[in-house]
Structures are given as structure tokens and as C-alpha cells.
Amino acid sequence: MRKVYSRIEAIAGNVITVTADDVRYGHLAMVTTRYGKSLAEVIRLDGNRVSLQVFAGGRGISTGDEVVFLGHPMQVSFSDNLLGRIFDGRGTPRDAGPPLEDNLIEIGGPSVNPAMRIIPRNMIRTGIPMIDVFNSLVESQKLPIFSVSGEPYNELLSRIAMQAEVDMIILGGMGLKYDDYLYFREVLEEGGAMSRTVFFVHTASDPVVECLLVPDISLAVAEKFALGGKRVLVLLTDMTNFADSMKEIAITMEQVPSNRGYPGDLYSQLASRYEKAVDFEGAGSITILGVTTMPGDDVTHPVPDNTGYITEGQYYLRNGRIEPFGSLSRLKQLVNDKTRDDHRAVMDGMITLYANYRESVEKRSMGFRMSEWDTKLLKYGALFESEMMDLSVNIPLEQALDRGWSILAECFAPAESGLRTELINRFWPSTGGSPGSVAATAESGSDGETA
């Protein structure tokens, strides 16, 4: 029989303190209040004074409530029965299905030995040209979508989830609006993907501590599936809510904040989650796609800033489109040389021209005269935005590359494209200008990558 402690000495925010013996750091306790039971986790030991963070929150806890220590850390049930199910941050069902209790695994386990990692090599196709062509997503990559509230980042996530060539999807929702939660469920159900999906969802109205558990529980389950050979895509939205929950606990624990109230270990905390992305040699993989909303649209805010230092690139979602500038997949060069011969050249060439287009737009807005070249660029920019950048565009990579060539042909003479002659001869659409017609050189290729 486990010992029952019925004297809570302090209650501050979501943290309670009891006097107890034989308690271990990181283990769980069950707190029983008149509103129900809640799990709590030991977050500090000081002699026999034990501080716990209560998953359901501190509200309503009375000093006379009962605390029973369970003698183990946070666990989640792992089996194929998880598939198609929806849980909250603690792993209790949100759907009508039965609770799962068999084969419990610990969450927040050790990290992968760097010596066991391999160089990523497989592209994940999404059907979104701004990703597939310009910033390819790679299996085992960790990549956030930087955005602001109001942008369709969850729509983008669900689209990628539906189209990505992976074996299964784990959605970790943090501070998700209830509508968004329903939206995800609907999309996956309609697309017939529910049977290969597991949801761990914390909604905006759920206790804040549960939000903290979502990445760990999602990634622990993902890791087991990956070790079993599955290619798992983990979607985490919104990691800023996760960081804010951490901030709240840190402040309750009277930790000295480092930057805008966030704890000094924000970087390490985020990194230990994102670094779970991995490709297990001889087994499956974990790819992490997150959402990080930027408070005040400020990328130097501690959450996006620390995230950028951890992840392997980022997609900026702005005005409903993935921005070509700032967006970066740091692993793309590992895969885009194996797709089609013109992939890299089209990627570099089109972006260089798009950058020139932006300059022309700026010149125009300052009232400078538009040259013939500027006019061509303006036409190109408009086409690029509607035919490539628009999120409604949904075509395979090869088709997107073809489309790239036809946009170029519609706007420029071959020599103006800045692309190599050899590629132009192979790929330039015959209906466009004839190769080598206009001699003007485009101001491009200065980074040497197009050459």
C-alpha cells in the first residue's frame, strides 16, 4: 500500500509542495481533489520537501487534499492500438475509445548517440512547389513553419500531413483552438488518413501543464514506431505555446528569467525535443514539422530565435504563401541532386530572378523609371506568385519544374534566364523564345550556384 500524504504545504500556480519521504526526482504522484484526480510530476526535491507540478493545474487544490506517489515517471501506452485514436497531453482518450494501459513506455528518454546517426538521404514529397522545388523537406529533418496568428499554418500542416509520403502521422497539438482541433480531425478523416494517425492534443482551454507533455509524449510514441520500421511525421503546433507554458512554470518556481521572461534553458528544452528527429539505420525515421508563431511578427523573439538555432531551416508563411526569402531547408542539397538534372538550376535561377523582380517593385514604388527589363521582371514576378507560390498549387515536383520552365519561357529570352546553355537546350519549351535570341545578360548567378 502506497503512503498517502494529506498535507499540502504550499500551492503556487500549478506547483504544490508536500513533505514526503522516499520520493524520486521526475516521478509521478496522484493528487485527489474534490474536483477529481490529477497526475503531478516531481520537479524539485529539497530534503523531504517535494515540489510537484500538477497536470490539471493548481486551481481548486486544497491544503487538505491527498497526494499519493506512484513510484514511476510519466509513461504512455504503446501499441498499434494507438492508431486512429485521439488523446490529450497526458495520454487519456479524448475520443470515445477505451483508455489504453498495456505496454507502458517512459517519455522524455535519452538522446540518440550521434555516432549512430546517418546522413539524411530521402526527400519527402509534399506536392507543394515552394517546398519540393525550392526547399525540399528531407526525411529525419526538423523544420518549423514561422508564422503569425491568422495565417493558415494549420491548413498547411494538414495538407502536408495528407500528402507527405510517410507511413504515419503523429499530431501534437499545443494550445490548439478547439476549432483547429476539429479541423485537423475532419481533414484527416475525410482524406482517409485517420487510421495511420495518432493525435495528442492539448487545447487552449486545457490545463497549461498538460501542454508541456505533448511534445514528449508524441515523440516517445514516434520513436517506438520508428524503431519498429515506420517513417513517422510528427507535427507540432504551436511550439510557442509550449515555450509559454515553460515560462509560466519557470516563473512560478521563481527561476531567474533570461530573456523576456523565458527560462535560461529554453534552448536546451526545445533542442531536446527537436533533436528527436532521426533516421534509424535499418529501421524507420522521425521527421518533425512544427509551427512557431512569432509574437509581434518578430523573428528575434526568444522562441523563434532559439528555434532557428536548433532546427534545420525554416519555412516562413506570410500572406498565405511560403516566402522564398528567409525560408531555408538546410538539408535540401542532400536530396535535390538526385531528383532531376534541372532541379538545382531551376531552383537557383527562379529565385534569383524573383529577387530581381522584388527590386524592380521597389524601384517602381520609389517612382524610378521602369526599363524594358523591369517590365519583363514584373510579368515574371506576378506569374511566379500565382503559379508557384500560391498554396493552392498542388503538383508533383516534375510538373512543377516543367511549369518553372514555361514561366521562364513566357517572360524571357533563354539567355536572359541566367541558366546554363546545356540545360536550356534540353528543357526550354519549344513554344517559347528561340534559344540564344537576346544577348542581354541577366544580373544573376552572382553566388556562383547557377553557373
Partner 1 sequence: MSQSTGRVLGVNGNMVSVIVEGDVALNEVGYITVDSDGEEKRLKSEVIRVRGDRAEVQVFEMTRGIGVDDRVEFTGELLAVELGPGLLGRVYDGLQNPLPELAAQCGFFLDRGVYLNALDRKLTWAFTPKVAVGETVERADTLGIVPEGIFEHRIMVPFNRYGSYTVRQIASAGEYTVDHEIARLADKDGNEIGVTMMFEWPVKRAVDCYAERLKPEDPMVTKVRIIDTFFPVALGGTYCIPGPFGAGKTVLQQITSRNAEVDIVIVAACGERAGEVVETLREFPELTDPRTGRTLMERTVIICNTSSMPVAAREASVYTAVTIAEYYRQMGLNVLLLADSTSRWAQAMREMSGRLEEIPGEEAFPAYLESVIAGFYERAGVVRLRDGGHGSVTIGGTVSPAGGNFEEPVTQATLKVVGAFHGLSRERSDARRYPSIHPLESWSKYRGPIDRGMVEYARDALHRGNEVGQMMKVVGEEGTSLDDYLWYLKSEFTDAVYLQQNAFDMVDAAVDTERQRFAFAMLFTLLTRKLSFAAKEEARSWFAELRQRFIDFNGAKWQGDEFNRLHKEIVSTIEARTAGTEENAEQLVGERG
- State whether residue 140 is helix, strand or coil: coil
> DSSP for 379-392?
HHHHHHIIIIIBTT
Which C-beta is closer to ligand ATP: that of 330 or that of 379?
Answer: 330
Establish if 364 lies at the interface with ligand ATP (CB under 6 A). Answer: no
Which C-beta is closer to partner 1: that of 14 or that of 203?
Answer: 14
Provide φ and ψ at 254, rounded to 5°: 55, 35
Establish if 330 lies at the interface with ligand ATP (CB under 6 A). Answer: yes
In this chain, which of 102, 119, 192, 365 binds partner 1, going by CB under 8 A? Answer: 119
Name the amino acid, one letter, at 87: F
Which range touches partner 1 (CB under 8 A), out of 29-37, 194-202, 204-212, 270-278? 270-278
Establish if 445 lies at the interface with ligand ATP (CB under 6 A). Answer: no
Which of ligand ATP, partner 1, none lies near 383, with the C-beta cut-off 5 to 8 A by kind? none
- Closest approach of Cβ 195 to partner 1, in Å? 28
CB atoms within 10 A of CB 392: 8
Contact yes or no for 346/409 (Cβ under 8 A): no
Which C-beta is closer to ligand ATP: that of 185 or that of 343?
Answer: 343
Establish if 255 lies at the interface with partner 1 (CB under 8 A). Answer: yes
Establish if 295 lies at the interface with partner 1 (CB under 8 A). Answer: no
Give the angle subtended at the CA of 224 by the CAs of 219 and 228, to the nearest 5°.
Answer: 140
* Dist. CA 387–CA 354, nearest whole Å: 13
Establish if 328 lies at the interface with partner 1 (CB under 8 A). Answer: yes
Considering only residues 130 to 189 of the shown chain, the ones binding partner 1 according to CB under 8 A are 140
* Dist. CA 412–CA 414, nearest whole Å: 6
Establish if 177 lies at the interface with ligand ATP (CB under 6 A). Answer: no
Establish if 45 lies at the interface with partner 1 (CB under 8 A). Answer: yes
Q: Which cell numbers in the block locate residue 302?
A: 526568444
Q: Which cell numbers in the block locate residue 65?
A: 487534499
Cβ neighbours for 167, distance < 8 A, ≥ 6 positions apart = 196, 225, 230, 231, 232, 284
Which C-beta is closer to ligand ATP: that of 151 or that of 312?
Answer: 312
Cβ neighbours for 409, distance < 8 A, ≥ 6 positions apart = 428, 429, 431, 432, 433
Which C-beta is closer to ligand ATP: that of 268 or that of 371?
Answer: 268
Residues in the chain: 451
In this chain, which of 13, 73, 191, 228 binds partner 1, going by CB under 8 A? Answer: 73
In this chain, which of 35, 178, 309, 368 binds ligand ATP, going by CB under 6 A? Answer: 309
Of 42, 36, 30, 32, the closest CA to residue 69 belongs to 30
Q: How far apart are the first and last CA of the chain?
A: 74
- Closest approach of Cβ 180 to partner 1, in Å? 28
Give the angle subtended at the CA of 114 by the CAs of 113 and 119, to the nearest 5°.
Answer: 130
Establish if 368 lies at the interface with ligand ATP (CB under 6 A). Answer: no
Q: How many residues bind partner 1 (CB under 8 A)?
A: 66
* Dist. CA 306–CA 216, nearest whole Å: 18
Establish if 47 lies at the interface with partner 1 (CB under 8 A). Answer: yes
Which of ligand ATP, partner 1, none lies near 368, with the C-beta cut-off 5 to 8 A by kind? partner 1
Which of ligand ATP, partner 1, none lies near 117, with the C-beta cut-off 5 to 8 A by kind? partner 1
Q: Which cell numbers in the block locate residue 390?
A: 500560391
* Dist. CA 185–CA 381, nearest whole Å: 36
- Closest approach of Cβ 361 to ligand ATP, in Å? 26
* Dist. CA 146–CA 148, nearest whole Å: 7
Which residues are near partner 1 by CB under 8 A? 21-27, 44-48, 73, 108-120, 140, 227, 255-259, 263-265, 267-268, 271-272, 275-276, 280, 300-302, 305, 308-310, 312-313, 325-326, 328, 330-331, 366, 368, 441, 443, 446-449, 451
